[in-house]
A and B are shown apart, each in its own frame.
Chain A
Amino acid sequence: MQSVVAPNSLSSENPVLRVENLRKHYGLVHAVKDISFHVCAGEIVGLLGVNGAGKTTTISMILGVLEPTAGSIHIGSVDLLRHRSRALSSTSFAAVYAALPGNLTVYENLRVFALLYGVRDFPARLQSVLDAFDLHKFRNTKCGILSSGEQTRVGLAKAMLNRPRVLLLDEPTASIDPASARDIRSTICSFAASTQTGVLWTSHNMFEVEEVCSRVLFLSHGEIILSGDPRTLPAQYGKSTLEELFISVAREPFDLGALQS
């Protein structure tokens, strides 16, 4: 399998996203339990876990739309909880559950979000993201009549408009055919490498994770229980593939010692 992870100079001393002791309780339900991790400039980190593990809760907190019960989130050196607006100007996201308004055209949506993110050179950025995601022919098409895959590409175009330092992608290729998904993965990797954007990527497609992520974090019941290189991690736990490891962790999340032996 050919990896499309872009070669770049990662440095743990240069994190663009720093999450420390992040916790979220909903009453008695502990959705996220004191997790800490970082994403470096140009690095693509996979956030893995079964449905309900706390991935989307974590992403929502990093996006500033869910207040943590405790902990801190820094985008670069900016404390998200104290300087929300400044931190979010360097952040962006795309998710299958957050399609752009279907009653606006691709151009109109991108224009509005360019203003919201304070994009200065909009004509050039528009051209660039339309090129990157092959959206020129849909420029004046309402998003609501695009296919789900095309809408995903528009969402990704929006996510890259502001050249974010931190890009959060929640299952970005979930509704895309394999050929388009490969192109999109390649575009995102190139973008991350060329702009030194740190990417936090959730996916249930382990092939995809191995292909794009230089590091993965396994989340289970709101805790990070495993982390490492997705290409070497399975062997460390006696598994031949990342998917096998994922299934083992999903079934027996608290028995990692046994897995390792």
Chain B
Amino acid sequence: MNLTRIAAIPLRQFFLYRGSAARVVPLFAWVTIDMVLWGFMTKFLGSLAHTSYRFVPALLGAVLFWDFMTRVMQGVTTAFFEDVWSRNFLNVFATPITMPEYIAGLLLSSFATSIVGLAVMIAVSTAAFGLNFAAYGAMLLPFILVLFLNGMALGVAAIAIVLRFGPAAEWFVWPIPALLAPFACVYYPLATLPAPMQWFARLLPPSYVFEGMRAVVSGHVFNGALLAAAFALAIAYIVLAYWIFARVFRHAIQTGLITRYSAETVS
């Protein structure tokens, strides 16, 4: 892995963000809106329920973490889309950059943009709604890490879809978080789902995180084995996503799709 070549991708993103309000504003606008919306929703639910259940860390915190994972995924896909939108594949892939380096560059770009989003969400949720991250204790970092890894896997799988099916396939990508949300148990416990949905939910690392979050804020201990399972699944999905992307890229090189990408298909 050549760090200089990897650095070219986030540098390109920096140049693009530096000169574009249309790119910078979405970094914090949507997550701020989400925090405000769910912050008031959480307050309202808290006023209805006559229990000691801690809605702010359990629900608003879950929304924050889910948004973070979504931002990680979109950070990868958006950095990739910049090459799609500017028809830059031929220029980039005719350079010495290798596929792992290109993916690493996308992930670094995503890391930078998603950290901005996370910082904004933390600021809004703590200042406006009193979200206290101490409620998650020592589990905070592992939770974030699992979601970060899962966001990376989703991002790489998503760009494989777009590379395989052409620029118009980006419309398959944007709804991915919404499609997974019901199974990821962001807003409700796993037990709420019917049995077949629970089976699918257990294949998703975020469902372990959100189950764990609710357990921790309720004063229970989160099973370390479940956390390990979440990590293992997240890493397995990254490997799987990279494998899929590598196969799709190879197909694009064999068929000439890279050089005629705007045609969307070479068949």
Contacts and interface: CB of A to CB of B under 8 A. Distances in A.
Interface stretch (A12-20, A111-119, A232-240, A244-252): A111-119
Contacts of A95: 90
A26 B256 contact: yes
A113 B92 CA distance: 8
Residue among A67, A97, A111, A158 with the highest chain B CB neighbour number at 10 A: A67
Contacts of B86: 101-103
Contacts of A88: 94-96
A150 B109 CA distance: 30
Given A67-B253, A67-B254, A116 B93 contact: no
A63 interface: yes
A65 interface: yes
A91 B88 CA distance: 17
Interface in B84-104: 86-98
B91 A100 contact: yes
B11 to A, nearest CB: 6
Interface of B: 2, 4-5, 7-8, 11-12, 15-16, 19-20, 82, 86-98, 250, 253-256, 258-259, 266
A180 interface: no
Contact of A93 (B11, B94, B266): B94
A64 B2 contact: no
25 contacts: A26-B256, A26-B266, A56-B259, A57-B256, A60-B256, A60-B259, A63-B90, A64-B94, A65-B253, A65-B258, A66-B259, A84-B96, A85-B2, A85-B98, A92-B94, A101-B88, A101-B91, A103-B86, A112-B8, A113-B95, A115-B8, A116-B8, A116-B95, A116-B97, A118-B4
Interface of A: 26, 56-57, 60, 63-67, 84-86, 88-89, 91-93, 95, 97-105, 108, 111-113, 115-118, 158
Given A102-B86, A112-B8, A89 B96 contact: yes
Nearest to A60: B259
A84 B266 CA distance: 23
Given A103-B16, A112-B8, A66 B96 contact: no
A96 to B, nearest CB: 12
A203 B31 CA distance: 52
B96 A86 contact: yes
A65 B92 CA distance: 10
Contact of B12 (A85, A97, A112): A112
Contact of A117 (B11, B96, B254): B96
A98 B87 CA distance: 8
B7 to A, nearest CB: 6
Nearest to A116: B95
A169 to B, nearest CB: 13
A153 to B, nearest CB: 15
Contacts of B254: 67
A118 B7 CA distance: 11
Nearest to B94: A63
Contact of A116 (B89, B96, B250, B255): B96
B112 to A, nearest CB: 16
A104 B12 contact: yes
Task: Identify the 8 closest CB pairs spanning chains A and B, nearest first.
Answer: A115-B8, A101-B86, A116-B95, A63-B94, A89-B96, A108-B15, A85-B96, A88-B96
B242 to A, nearest CB: 18
Contact of B5 (A26, A111, A116): A116
Contacts of A93: 94
Contacts of A105: 15
Contacts of B12: 104, 108, 112
A116 B16 contact: no
A115 B4 contact: yes
A66 B253 contact: yes
Contacts of A89: 96
A117 B93 CA distance: 11
Contacts of A63: 90, 94
Contact of A98 (B2, B4, B82, B90): B90
Contact of A118 (B2, B93, B255): B2
Contacts of A117: 95-96
Contacts of A66: 253, 256, 258-259
Contacts of A116: 5, 8, 92, 95-97
A65 B16 contact: no
A104 B92 contact: no
